[in-house]
Chains A and B, each alone.
Chain A
Amino acid sequence: MAVPAAVELVDLALKATTAYERSDLGGRLLQTRKRLVDPDVRVLVVGEFKQGKSQLVNALVNAPVCPVDDDIATAVPTVVKHAETTTVALVREGSENGAPERIEVPAARLAEYVSEAGNPGNKAMLSYAEVGLPRKLLAGGLVLVDTPGVGGLGSAHGAATMSALPSADAVLLVSDTAQEYTGPELEFLQAALKLCPNVACVLTKTDLYPHWRRIMELDRGHLAATGIDAEMFPVSSMLRLHAAKTQDTALMDESGFRQLVNFLLNKVVAQSDDLDRRSTSHDVLSVAEQLAAGMKAELEVQQDPERMESLVAELSRAKGNADELKQRSSRWQITLNDGVADLQSDIDYDLRDRLRTITREAEQLIDDADPAEIWEQFAEWFHQQVSSAASANFVWAAERARWLAGRVAEHFAEGADILLPELRFDDEGMAGKVDPLVKPEVEKFGTGQKLLTGMRGGYSGMLMFGMLGAFMGLPIFAGAPAGIALGVKSVRDESKRQLMKRRSDGKQAVRKHIDEVTFQVGKDSRDMLRRTQRQLRDHFSAIAEEMSTSLAASVLAAQNAVKTTSSERERRIRDLKAELERIDGLATRARALVKDLGAGQPVAVGSGAAPRSPARKSL
């Protein structure tokens, strides 16, 4: 996107702030500018295993960037973005020195790193692979992210994908037309819609399945039944690639890609473009307004010196109001602080509640079986449950935080159009960070040990009864049968004891793990909330500060105005008018930037009741 007009406008406004010595207004503009020149529009391509995600990305960019195989799946996310020449780099984050590590590799060898074959279970610990391609489609800043489908949407892996959603500008759920939507797919769609502004369903492989229209109708029915409103695109990657090869436009139409590309360019890219225009225009307008405020006050006084008193009083009152907004006791600050505190306890409760249910379930499972036998499956199940609980908690937290931001904005300036900051929850992904369960040490009850235990029991039994017999005049070996019986009994007791021990060890491991997860995820979500709080506070404080400074300047200008003589006044009025015109020009340009866009809120402000905790998945 990188709307050049918007960047120019911001530059101009920046110059104005320095010219009028209001560098305090420049900070926000600089941030806006930084956001504008980083034009990425991230589109996540997600879906179950083997639905044609990689092939879809390939067909979109018309190049075999993501390896496609009948059998082997993608293991590492592949990020495809615009570049002047084709480049391929592997990125490994979280190394010791903190900076992500980049390794350039030849394009032909990418498959070795990103597919399950060359890198099973992502042993190489790559964070993602980045492919740069010179493509017109991507030139607008579109970034396609091919995610691994390993394990399916419902698994721990799927939960990790969920945590990446808030940072995405759009999500494409890929499902092939061999069958209708499954439960996990619909669940994923529902969650995705809460976290991401654009969600579209892509139905692939329409070239292969004669009944794809039926399937599409059925899927539409499922979406309608669950109340999901998302666009649907039936496509055939194979036809698109073939059409590109043979330059066959009819075939291109049949592939269904035109609509998908249209959606990506005209809706996703354009929307983020619109958002940029709106926020830029808004920022520049507010800067222009504040720059003009002082001059307008002075102009008024110059034109009508009698009004000075009342104007100064009015301005002072306004400044007083603005100063109040800066106070910690102001209404929006209270809303924010209370809201975050509420949110923290709600989210914490939600998490604990979810994890407690899982603990109960897990303990029941351990009680019903021998942990030594089921541990592997159990650990997998447990990990998945915990991950999905953490991610559901996260989705809800993000939703609530956004809603809170809307409330704070409402209280900050009733009725006024205040731009919300873009909340980012993705600084540190959280849901994906749940570690798998550690297996407790299992005491082996081997044959040797059994023999020993048995002999110990047998020996004492034989001795006991043998001695008894000896009193009655029998040889000591008469105690042998009793010895054997006791030996068998002690072996049996010992195995029972060990099973009990395994169970209690297993439960302890579960509890310890849940404790760890509660601690870690709880800390993550607290950090996230605190970051959100800080973001909101800084944002609104900065606005209050700016307003206060502007008003102070206006008061000063109004007070100073009367000191000048009448001829000087004439000249000053002319000057001021000229300056105001210039600022007005800036404002006009800012307004022109959004002229073609329909009316609408810059950012959807949450209103109404707070979102409720989503129904827990039945475990």
Chain B
Amino acid sequence: MNGPTPALGSVVRVLLRRTIDVYRDSPNAVGWLQHNLNRFDEPLRVAIAGKVKAGKSTLLNALVGEEIAPTDAGECTRIVTWYIDAQVPKVMMYPRGVPPRQLAISRANGALSFDLQGTPVEQVDKLEVEWPSQSLRTHTLIDTPGIASLSADTSARAGAFLTPDESPSQADAVIYLMRHLHATDVRFLESFFDQGVARATPVNTIGVLSRADEIGVGRLDALSSARRIARRYRADEKIRGLCQTVVAVAGLLAQTGRTMRQHEFAALTALAELPRADLDAMLLSVDRFSRAELPDPSTGPDADTRARLMERFGLFGVRLSTTLIRQGMNDPNAIATELVKRSGLDDLRSVLATQFTERRDLLKARSALLAVDLVLTREPRPAAAPLVAEVERILAGAHEFAELRLLSTLRSGAVRLPTEALQEAERLLGGDGGSAAARLGLEPDAHPDELRAAALDAVARWQRRAESPMSGRAVSDVARLVVRSCEGVLAGLYR
């Protein structure tokens, strides 16, 4: 879909190398640029951010499918922690001003924990956890401390990591977790975009309505409520202007679904076999469930087991899985899959795939351009003048960036279009994914002829809109760009 022009990735790589050439004598700049060049080949860096106790570590565990990030009832993550795919497990600590040190890994009950060897939290810049995992291969995940945390320093560190005052962000993309939306959430999201070259591009952020199972106070229909709220957020102009989309995810359910063990299934089955009235009475509250004496202790799991179940599943998870077992599901894998499906994790993963993974090059290029731009503005010199022009040219010229910019303009509601046309424009610009089928709103396995017909149809329609004397200037501009995108799709099909 790049047409005759060379791929954006290689153009930006060339630019990076040229900039390094120009700044050969400045070790700072070279280090920084080299770092960014290397970064081009790494997996996409996705930061998981959000308010305190939004469930960031839980979601990270769910995405990885293992309990590698420690979670706790109190505020837990206090250090920015990177989770990177590697051959062997290894944890590195990067204290401030001191060379990095390797930490011992201990594992209890499946959960990892690290001992900082007495280093105070304030003096640790970041932790790097290398872990062999399929899920980490496509993107490196970064766990961040909560924003609006009571320990002001922790919160400041999250802010400094995600929206550093001067330099481009270290993360390529962000999954922003919110419980019900707070004013601080919106403010934070805003500050995240207000910087550098690609100012106000909500393109690299996905909003997640987290702890979705708790929204409906653990009722069985809680998740449909949560999805409804997520839908409302998606439609909300203010939030549309800040992130690509919002999905509801029940992190705990997803984490447990992906890591469910046989003995847990056995305990759940035993519970499901209890008389309905007894079980319902137990499930009234967490205390009842974990502490109540069973009428016949031999038939069900003991209090300790139940307490652990509650810990892992939550009230909603226990309600849901016992209901599922009662309805005749008796295969642990089927239950686990169902839990993951209902948790909304699959939605999040498919959004991640379409929004981030497919656009990997674009996001990386964007990060790299930000880095080059920083060097050019910090240390201006005559020899760099053509480079400034080049950055300008890439930003203005690359159709991908134009698409991104237009997408965010459309989302901010600056252009008046009929709702249907607006939705179509966003889709054609790649708002729902960059593949031809996704852009044309067809099934992924649609026949090329079908795709071609749809694309030609779209070109004709938007051409008309672009040339119609009734369209305003802004609308014509939008239409012309959409036509360009459709042509890109067509070109890709003929290739």
- Chain A residues in the interface with B (C-beta under 8 A): 48-50, 70-71, 151-152, 154-155, 178-183, 186, 205-212, 214-215, 218, 222, 236, 238-239, 242, 251, 254, 377, 447
A-B contacts, CB under 8 A, total: 90
Q: Say yes or no: A179-B53 contact (C-beta < 8 A), given A50-B180, A215-B73.
A: yes
Q: Which of B91-99, B121-129, B262-270, B282-290 contacts A (4 or more CB under 8 A)?
A: B282-290
Contact sample, A vs B, 20 pairs, CB 8 Å cutoff: A49-B182, A71-B228, A71-B232, A152-B182, A155-B183, A180-B150, A206-B285, A206-B287, A207-B286, A207-B315, A208-B218, A208-B315, A209-B286, A210-B290, A210-B315, A215-B74, A218-B74, A239-B284, A239-B285, A377-B190
Chain A min CB distance to B56 (Å): 12
**B183 adjacent to A447 (CB under 8 Å):** no
Cα distance A154–B180 in the bound complex, in angstroms: 16
B197-234 near A? 1/0 per residue, CB < 8 Å: 00000000000000100111110001001101100100
How far is it, in angstroms, between the C-alpha of A239 and the C-alpha of B473 when the chains are bound?
A: 60
Within 8 A of A (CB), among B24-54: 52-53
Within 8 A of A (CB), among B183-200: 183-184, 190
Do residues B284 and A251 form an inter-chain contact, with CB atoms below 8 A?
Answer: yes
Of all chain B residues, which has the CB nearest A239?
A: B285
The CA of A236 and the CA of B289, in the complex, are separated in Å by 15
- What are the residues of chain B within 8 A of A179 when measuring CB–CB? 52-53
Closest chain A residue to B316 by CB distance?
Answer: A208
Partner of A71 from B53, B183, B225 at Cβ < 8 Å? B225
Checking B190, B225, B284, B311 against A207 with a beta-carbon cut-off of 8 angstroms, the contacting residue is B284
Whole-angstrom CA separation of A212 from B311 in the bound complex: 12
Residues of B within 8 A of A207 (CB): 217-218, 284-287, 315
Contact residues of B with A, CB < 8 Å? 52-53, 73-75, 148, 150, 179-180, 182-184, 190, 211, 214-218, 222, 225-226, 228-229, 232, 284-288, 290, 307, 310-311, 314-315, 473
- What is the chain A residue whose CB lies nearest that of B180? A50
Tell me whether B229 and A71 are in contact (CB under 8 A): yes
| Nearest A residue to B73, CB-CB | A211
| A180 touching B52 in the complex, CB below 8 Å, given contacts A70-B222, A205-B217, A208-B214 | yes
**A208–B311 touching, CB < 8 Å:** no
Q: In the assembled complex, which residues on chain B have CB atoms less than 8 Å from the CB atom of A48?
A: 182
Chain B proximity of A221: nearest CB distance (Å):
10
> B335 CB to closest chain A CB, in angstroms?
21
Q: Which residue of B lies closest to A157 (CB)?
A: B183
| Residues of the B chain whose Cβ atoms lie less than 8 Å from the Cβ of A238 | 217, 284-285
* B255 CB, nearest partner CB in chain A, Å: 15
- Cβ contact of A254, chosen from B75, B287, B290, cutoff 8 A: B287
Contact A49 B286 (CB under 8 A): no
CB pair B211–A178 under 8 Å, yes or no, is yes
Question: What is the minimal beta-carbon distance from A530 to any residue of chain B, in angstroms?
Answer: 36
A262 to chain B: closest CB distance in Å? 20
* Chain B residue at smallest Cβ distance from A49: B180
Residues of A within 8 A of B229 (CB): 70-71
B180 to chain A, nearest CB (A): 4
Q: Measured between C-beta atoms, what is the minimum distance from B172 to chain A in Å?
A: 25
- Bound-state CA distance A242–B280 (Å) is 12
Known contacts being A71-B232, A208-B315, A215-B73, is A183 close to B150, with CB within 8 Å?
yes
Please report the C-alpha to C-alpha distance between residue A210 and residue B252 in the assembled complex, in whole angstroms. Answer: 13
**For the complex, what is the distance from the CA of A207 to the CA of B310, rounded to whole Å?**
12
Q: Which residues of A contact B287 (CB under 8 A)?
A: 206-207, 254
Do B310 and A210 touch (CB < 8 A)? yes
Tell whether, in the assembled complex, residue B311 and residue A70 are in contact, meaning their CB atoms are under 8 Å apart. Answer: no
Question: Is the CB–CB distance between A208 and B228 below 8 Å?
Answer: no
A183-B150, A206-B287, A208-B214 known; A152+B183 contact, CB < 8 A:
yes
Query: In the assembly, what is the distance between CA of A154 and CA of B184, in Å?
Result: 10
A254 in contact with B285 given A211-B73, A214-B74 (CB within 8 Å): yes
A82 to chain B, nearest CB (A): 29
Query: CB within 8 A of A70: which of B53, B184, B225?
Result: B225
Residues of A within 8 A of B315 (CB): 207-208, 210
Q: Tell whether A254 pairs with B288 under 8 Å between CB atoms, given A208-B214, A208-B315.
A: yes
A447 in contact with B473 (CB, 8 Å): yes
User: Within the assembled complex, what's the spacing in Å between the Cα atoms of A183 and B218?
Assistant: 27
The 7 A-B pairs at the shortest CB distance, nearest first, are namely A211-B73, A207-B285, A179-B53, A70-B225, A214-B73, A50-B180, A210-B286
- How many angstroms between the C-alpha atoms of A226 and B183 in the bound complex? 24
Contact between A236 and B285 (Cβ–Cβ < 8 Å)? yes
- When the two chains form their complex, are residues B190 and A151 in contact, meaning their CB atoms are under 8 A apart? no
Complexed CA–CA distance, A50 and B183 (Å): 13
Q: Give the docked Cα–Cα distance between A154 and B187 (Å).
A: 13
Beyond the given A71-B229, A205-B217, please list 7 additional residue pairs across the A-B interface where CB-CB is below 8 A.
Answer: A70-B226, A183-B148, A207-B287, A210-B310, A212-B286, A238-B284, A254-B288
**CA–CA, A214 and B72, complex, Å:** 10
The answer to whether B217 and A208 touch across the interface, beta carbons within 8 angstroms, is yes
